[in-house]
A and B are shown apart, each in its own frame.
Chain A
């Protein structure tokens, strides 16, 4: 069994959930979001986040706007839409359920 692959799959599953969670606390531009996720060691390489952001945006969970920046060119700020909030609430409850189930099995 490829341990790294299993780890990557686990991370990938929760990554979308975490992006929504971070954005629910305020709008962020991609690099902010990246740093936050890197801090908590959820992503290893930066590139993985962009396809997820684009897909969530196309699914109507996120919106974005351009904002001037004091350093460099304008930045793309992502924000959670109403639909994104609904999905996040749903994910939160299923996440709690998942943790309980996993704990009950692992700690048996």
Chain B
């Protein structure tokens, strides 16, 4: 048994399995990430969605009413890889991609002992947070001001809460394909943890 969703694709209604939906969403997001120009992008995506709707239509009938993940995989093979579709161009400089933002210092909520300050500094300079923690401990015991610096940083450095902020913290460009990859990684992590706990 699987949960299905109802979607409107190219003005047609389809029932689609949840995993198939996620795959399709991810695929369309990746295509979108390759086109910088807003008007151009919406035209291209709507044309592609219409074609996918047409291909879906050929794959459903009275006996098979739901789009399954194999259908989506087959269709992404027919339509081609997003890189191929765009002819290898990257929407790196677009307003949409927002990738021109420089790396920023955030507190890393996924890698913290107290407030994630050391984890964030580690991400910023691309070094192991453990080294930062040792340095903080040394200046705490050696000079007595380490704790004060830590608390000040805890207060003034924002925490990376959203996916975009986490990408910014790592210095990865914030665009559709990166967000897609990041969300997928997170999802896989959660799934793995869950399975591990079940054992």
Contacts and interface: CB of A to CB of B under 8 A. Distances in A.
Please indicate whether A and B come from the same complex rather than being unrelated chains: yes
Contacts of B78: 45-46
Interface residues of B, number: 26
A92 interface: no
Contacts of A30: 47, 50-51
Interface in B78-119: 78-82, 84-87
Contacts of A8: 84
Contacts of A46: 51, 78-80
Contacts of B10: 73
B80 A45 contact: yes
B57 interface: yes
A74 B91 CA distance: 31
A45 B81 CA distance: 8
B81 to A, nearest CB: 7
B47 A53 contact: yes
A47 B80 contact: yes
A19 to B, nearest CB: 13
Interface in A20-67: 30-31, 34, 44-48, 50-51, 53-55, 57-58
Interface residues of A, number: 20
Contacts, number: 62
Main DSSP-derived SS at the A contact region: helix
Given A12-B87, A73-B11, A76-B50, A47 B79 contact: yes
B54 A31 contact: yes
A103 B140 CA distance: 78
A34 B50 CA distance: 13
Interface string B1-37: 0000000001110000000000000000001000100
B60 to A, nearest CB: 12
Contact of A57 (B43, B79, B85): B43
Contacts of A58: 39-40, 43
> Which interface residue of A51, A55, A58 has the most chain B CB atoms within 10 A?
A51
Contacts of A76: 47, 50
B139 interface: no
Interface of B: 10-12, 31, 35, 39-40, 43-44, 47-48, 50-51, 53-54, 57, 77-82, 84-87
4 residue pairs, one from A and one from B, having the closest CB atoms? A45-B80, A47-B85, A47-B79, A47-B80
22 contacts: A31-B51, A31-B54, A45-B81, A45-B84, A45-B85, A46-B51, A46-B78, A47-B80, A48-B87, A50-B48, A50-B51, A50-B85, A51-B44, A51-B87, A54-B43, A55-B40, A57-B43, A58-B39, A58-B40, A73-B10, A76-B47, A76-B50
